[in-house]
Amino acid sequence: MASSQISLSSSFLLHKLPSPSLHRHRHRYGQAIACTATPSITSQPPLPTTNFSAKYVPFTSISTPTTESYSLNDVVYRSRDGGLLDVQHDMSALKQFDGHYWRTLFDSRVGTTKWPYGSGVWSKKEWVLPQIHDDDIVSAFEGNSNLFWAERFGKKFVKMNDLWVKHCGISHTGSFKDLGMTVLVSQVNKLRKRTTIPIIGVGCASTGDTSAALSAYCAAANIPSIVFLPANKISMAQLVQPIANNAFVLSIDTDFDGCMKLIRQVTTELPIYLANSLNSLRIEGQKTAAIEILQQFDWEVPDWVIVPGGNLGNIYAFYKGFKMCHELGLVDRIPRLVCAQARNANPLFQYYSSGWKEFEPVKAKTTFASAIQIGDPVSIDRAVCALKESNGIVEEASEEELMDAMAMADSTGMFVCPHTGVALSALIKLRGKGVIGATERAVVVSTAHGLKFSQAKIDYHSMGIEGMECSYGNSPVTVKDDFGAVMDELQKFLS
Ligand SMILES: Cc1ncc(COP(=O)(O)O)c(C=O)c1O
Ligand SMILES: N[C@@H](CCOP(=O)(O)O)C(=O)O
């Protein structure tokens, strides 16, 4: 058994759970929701009675079949040989229903208040965590985020008409991490409530967004959360989130990669459940953003999806979501994926540029895209798989390019984070090279809310960043309290 595994009982039996056909009323987030696991609305297809299931398998089993597998009720993050794990669904059970069935089922749940299907994640429950009981789910009705037609940005800056931004950051804690965290914390909630597995808390290393999501979902479920943050390397808005949500916060004098090493060691010694995306449960929630994009396009497949990458779980999550939709007959192909990295933290870009010869972690340098300042991504193998299987591309953006792209987007009415700037910058480059065509449909994934990174925007618009022109900077004009002076400034502006 790998040292990172805590040997715990996997004998938790689902038949101990209350019958899923129970009709009942329950309270969530102060709202009384009439909930039934057997929906009565006629527009919704009957729920399948088949027993769907999922288990952990070594990630390598995608290409090399193996008998090694673990129950999702086990506390295990790595395979016997120390590799990554993946959640494998019983695809033959899911395939008993055709693509039309799944599309109709998922569409019927959009906008519902019925627990837990009002969540963009749990509206796909059968594909996410099929064996969890609704009562154990910890959700803030995350997901269902805006797929924004970036009409003005598209026309003005990249000569495209069919450009979209998936605003995953307009969410409960302001980033896409909510999608994965609802799944992970729900599973922990179930294990703590219904088994004797000792989990005293849930922990993560973070560049700011994972910790915000973890602490919020744990607080909602009354589960202790422990977060390791690289000191002085995350934004104030991100730092205050776990503090406000009552997490135990360790600010450590290292970078994210150092924090990640520490939390991996700590979670092998103490019964603290690991919440980083090394834990493949997170991917199951995050993959629903891909399914949601297809759904929002009425199940038409975009040509390109561009995702900023750091620890590299999300690029694989998008691939997995698209792949499942293809395999289960909801769509007939998958989009090409682009992973965009900051030049100051670009180990994947370097690996890709070398023709996938040899992966070398890097020492990540300071970047305005601070949440992706990661030099040794845990999901490197997952990212390579996603890119190879989707005929994907890796791009990078300099500090000036990513900040300009962020400012360009904001000038057209968005308010995006620097990581979205990295992805937009990749789009600009790929359009410039003619790789992405003018009439193709592209989706840029926006990963966090711009308000979390207001200091970066202040720095840019103050035009005081050393070595950066800040070409799209927009400083306020200082004027004295005088009608004539105000009129003079307005005349200058209007002319
Ligand atoms: C805002 C933001 N964007 C992008 C990423 C990259 O996601 P991933 O680590 O899954 O590659 C992260 C976290 O790493 C993030 O917090
Ligand atoms: N950007 C992340 C970095 C950790 O990524 P994870 O997906 O492995 O948790 C963060 O916000 O902490």
**CA distances in angstroms from 312 to 257, 272, 371, 379, listed in the order given:** 13, 23, 12, 5
The reply to whether ipTM tops 0.90 is: yes
Give residue 43's pLDDT.
62
Give residue 100's pLDDT.
98
Q: Which residue has the higher pLDDT, 329 or 35?
A: 329
- Whole-number Å distance between alpha carbons of 125 and 116: 9
Q: Which residue has the higher pLDDT, 222 or 63?
A: 222
Give residue 186's pLDDT.
98
- Percentage above 70 pLDDT, the chain: 91
Ligand 1 neighbour 309 (Cβ under 6 A):
yes
Give residue 61's pLDDT.
84
Give residue 49's pLDDT.
66
Give residue 423's pLDDT.
99
Please state the rounded mean pLDDT for residues 109-136: 97
pLDDT at position 427 over 80: yes
pLDDT at position 222 over 80: yes
pLDDT at position 363 over 50: yes
- Whole-number Å distance between alpha carbons of 154 and 397: 19
Ligand 2 neighbour 311 (Cβ under 6 A):
yes
CA of 394 relative to ligand 2 center, distance in Å: 19
Q: What's the angle, vertex CA 283, arms to CA 279 and CA 287, rounded to 5?
A: 175
Q: 63 falls in which pLDDT band (50, 70, 90)?
A: confident
Cα 495 from chain centroid (whole Å): 45
- Whole-number Å distance between alpha carbons of 242 and 259: 16
Burial class (CB in 10 A: 0-12, 13-18, 19+), 174: buried
Ligand 1 atom nearest to CA at 308: 4
Interaxial angle between packed helices 236-244 and 209-221, expressed in degrees from 0 to 180 and rounded to the nearest 10: 20
Q: 459 falls in which pLDDT band (50, 70, 90)?
A: very high
Average pLDDT, the chain: 91
Supply the pTM of this predicted model.
0.91
The pLDDT tens digits of the residues spanning 374-414 come to 999 999 999 999 999 999 999 999 999 999 999 999 999 99
CA of 118 relative to ligand 2 center, distance in Å: 25
The pLDDT tens digits of the residues spanning 302-351 come to 999 999 999 999 999 999 999 999 999 999 999 999 999 999 999 999 99
- Whole-number Å distance between alpha carbons of 364 and 254: 12
> Which residue carries 């390019």 as its tokens?
401
Q: Are 289 and 320 within 8 A, CB to CB?
A: no
Domains parsed from the chain with CATH numbers: 1-53+90-447 (3.40.50.1100)
Nearest CA owner, ligand 1 atom 9: 311
pLDDT at position 27 over 70: no
pLDDT at position 72 over 80: yes
449: which strand partners? 416
The pLDDT tens digits of the residues spanning 144-193 come to 999 999 999 999 999 999 999 999 999 999 999 999 999 999 999 999 99
Q: 441 falls in which pLDDT band (50, 70, 90)?
A: very high
CA of 464 relative to ligand 2 center, distance in Å: 29
CA of 209 relative to ligand 2 center, distance in Å: 6
